[in-house]
Structure 1
Amino acid sequence: MTAERSGAAPTRAAGLARLADFVPRAGRPYAAERNADHGSGDRSNVSTLSPWVRHRLVTEREVVEAVLQRHSLDAAGKFVQEVYWRTYWKGWLELRPSVWTRYAASVPHALDDLSAAERASYDDAVAGRTGIEGFDDWARELVELGYLHNHARMWFASIWIFTLRLPWQLGADFFLRHLLDGDPASNTLSWRWVAGLQTRGKTYLATADNIERYTDGRFRPTGLATEAIPPEDDTAVPPPGDAPLPEQIPAGPVALLLHEDDLHAESHAAALGAADAHVVAVASPTTGEPRSPLPASTVGDPTAPLVAGFTEAALADGRARAGAHYGAAACALDGITASAVREWLREHELTAIVTPYAPTGPARDRLDRLEHDLAVDGITVTRLLRPWDAHAWPHATRGFFPFRERIPALLREQRRGP
């Protein structure tokens, strides 16, 4: 199935159209109805903007500003908080990148360590044949459409961890491979939260009553766990490190390298212009980074075809728009490798790259390796940190609720930048 057939065309224009359609419902109706999962045929009570926001085809700032032009912060507070949850999760992980590193390294071990019975349970879970009402439907919906209602994601994760007693890492991997909006921070940390590892001692236990209530009576699963026993994990949550700071943008001709985490390069024009930097070449990879560390021989595609297709088209859309906006030659690279980038730079006689800041995750890992490999050639890589992130991430040192209290102040600060 293509991304278009799933209802999510991977372009900025489609994301803006979805935003405009949702804005009238973003106030009190959203707050009252957002927890209900009416099924894949009716998502009118939520925005479904996350696939576009995940790739920043549409930015968080644009979403919040559009909503607050129509509604007061009091009326739209629940929706604005949901946007900031994504920002908070990114900031939390940015201050503790070792949590991502440990997760990525643990996925293959979690699969290898399954017993034969556990592997059969895992195979049934991802195929939607456990016999658990609702859970199987969500597994199939995820694979077919690349999307699940947020409440369904929590129920699914809870059943996976506490009823099926499967490793949370494998559930997070299943989601990340198949979600169009699969985000390393939001996905990894949400699974940790359900499991009771993110906030020690605080778990989320799905109940039949809650599922029946918020699915309009469609599902009432039996045999669910009645106790949330957190997985064994003796690794302490690391203390927060330092938040990244804006880097000095080089003046003169530069090459703009895009990646899947930020595809609205036009909104960096003011910062580039202020530094007297001139974009003369634009490039991005043809495809996104693999979502899973697992080899195809064990679970199939590291990135589900639906997700890979959405990301590939999103990269093409961002690349074309950036080339047109900056009046620069735009090309697709066969991966962000040092050899491919060197050849691209030689063609344009450039030694300076600017790239949108990539938060902790696969794209960031790739860019870090690229910067290291190119340094020996005297090629510089400058990360363009958005004010939205620069203002918010330093406050992701504790839980979300202290962060939430800062939202009004953040809104005043963040409206000044892209």
Structure 2
Amino acid sequence: MQGPLDDIVVLDLSRALAGPHAAQMLGDLGAKVIKVEHPKGGDESRGWGPPFVGPDHDISTYFLAANRNKQSITVDLKSDEGKALIERLVRHSDVLIENFRTGVLDRLGFTVERLHELNPALVVLSITGFGHDGPEGGRPGYDQIAQGEAGLMSLTGPSADEPYRVGASIADLLAGIHGAYGIVAALYERGRTGKGKVVRTSLLASVTGVHSYHGTAWTVAGKVPTAGGNHHASIAPYGAFHCADGMIQIAVANEVQWRKVAELLGIDAERPEYATNRQRFAHRDELIAEMEKVLTTADRGHWLAALGNLGVPAGAIRSLDEVYEWDQTRSQGLVVTVDHPVLGSIELPGPALRFDGTPAREHTPPPALGQDNDTVLDWLTEAEKGDTSSHG
């Protein structure tokens, strides 16, 4: 057994990042994922770089990030032959994932109604930029555009005058995560009803759905949150602080922790300006300056050790090379090794979930374009011969 979804077949018609990330998550859980790509060039992310690696410098590390544990077949969705193959695959799949612009799949002849005629048990995940309906439902969606339109950039950066994008393609990735979550819920429901359904999410929904306390600051309190740099919007002290040789982060989430920090730094914890979180936040700039006056007298290692001994949450700000070499990262299975047919043994960022009592699965490398054409066709032919599959 490779994972809890090892009896699930996923037909992945998506490309770029949001849909492929959702499909990869299902593949990590053991699902058989068949990635459908155009014969000419395949998923456009195969051409996204730098960096490119390999003897001919033609393998995109971007593509490698979102396509492990998949098989690749090439299909021209506009051809009669391609459409016939997709119909066959739909009949023997549990899940179909697509992130075309609204209406594209319909124009190809695969409306939701047609898909469910072919396979009433099929769960369909549809990811769009701004939703499949509504006054702007047809807009194309790209991560950075969605980060701006969904308000995330207004919360990110040094000040309200300098909105920043989040460094990772967070709208795409969150849409993939929400999509995978929706698929698993729909599969669970299908276990009771025997019927599939459509799961919809969007880049807009994925970002708006994680506004959390920033959202309620507006919807309930009528306050429009703005970017606050590296310090928390509601808690103080909570953020990044300068030391003698760089910066560390300190997160004081309650009064017990505050008193420990204050004593360590020689600050009067009961001063009226600092006695409660509300007062500390109101005097945050003054507090930060007073803390950094002491913190800059010693290096990061000194303060991280001292704060750790007190049980106060604190940490370094690591570069990505430091993250992937960190023993703690590796101990959590967050780096996996796969045997790539061109690159040899390579390491990839690993899945975020582990299951007690389940051996770690053997991951497969992101596929070359069309490498599994024959394998998938042979599997499909066998499935059709027996036609005892539960996949429709």
Settle same-fold status: TM greater than 0.5: no
Larger radius of gyration: 2
TM-score, length of structure 1 as denominator length: 0.23
Higher-strand-fraction structure: 2
TM-score, length of structure 2 as denominator length: 0.24
Higher-helix-fraction structure: 1
